[in-house]
Amino acid sequence: MFNIINQLGIWVLSVINQTGYTGLFFLSLFESAAIPIPSEVVLPFSGFLVSSGRFNFAVVVIVASIANLAGSLLLYAIGRSGGRWLLERYGKFILIRKHDLDIGETWFKKHGASAVFWGRLLPVVRTFISLPAGIAEMPVGKFTLFTLLGAIPWNLALTYIGFKSGEHWSVLHSYFRKFDVLILGVIIVGVVWYIIKKKRR
> Nearest Cα to 68, choosing from 29, 38, 124, 39?
29
Which residue type occupies 200? R
Looking at the 3D structure of the chain, how many domains does it have? 1
pLDDT at 135: 81
> Nearest Cα to 27, choosing from 155, 178, 131, 157?
155
Using DSSP, state whether 115 is helix, strand or coil: helix
pLDDT at 125: 74
How does DSSP assign 7-63, residue by residue?
HHHHHHHHHHHHHTHHHHHHHHHHHHTT----HHHHHHHHHHHHHTTSS-HHHHHHH
pLDDT at 110: 75
pLDDT at 87: 55
pTM of the model: 0.72
pLDDT at 36: 74
Using DSSP, state whether 147 is helix, strand or coil: helix
CA–CA separation, 56 and 50 (whole Å): 5
pLDDT at 2: 45
pLDDT at 4: 47
pLDDT at 61: 95
- Residue 129 contacts residue 115 (beta carbons within 8 Å): yes
What is the mean pLDDT, run by run of 10 residues, along the chain of 201 residues? 54 82 92 80 85 90 95 88 58 53 66 82 77 85 92 91 70 54 56 58 60
Cα angle, residue 31 at apex, residues 193 and 47 outer, rounded to 5°? 120
CA–CA separation, 17 and 15 (whole Å): 5
Q: 191 is in which domain, residue-wise?
A: 2-200
Distance set, CA 183 to CA 14, 103, 159 (Å): 28, 24, 21
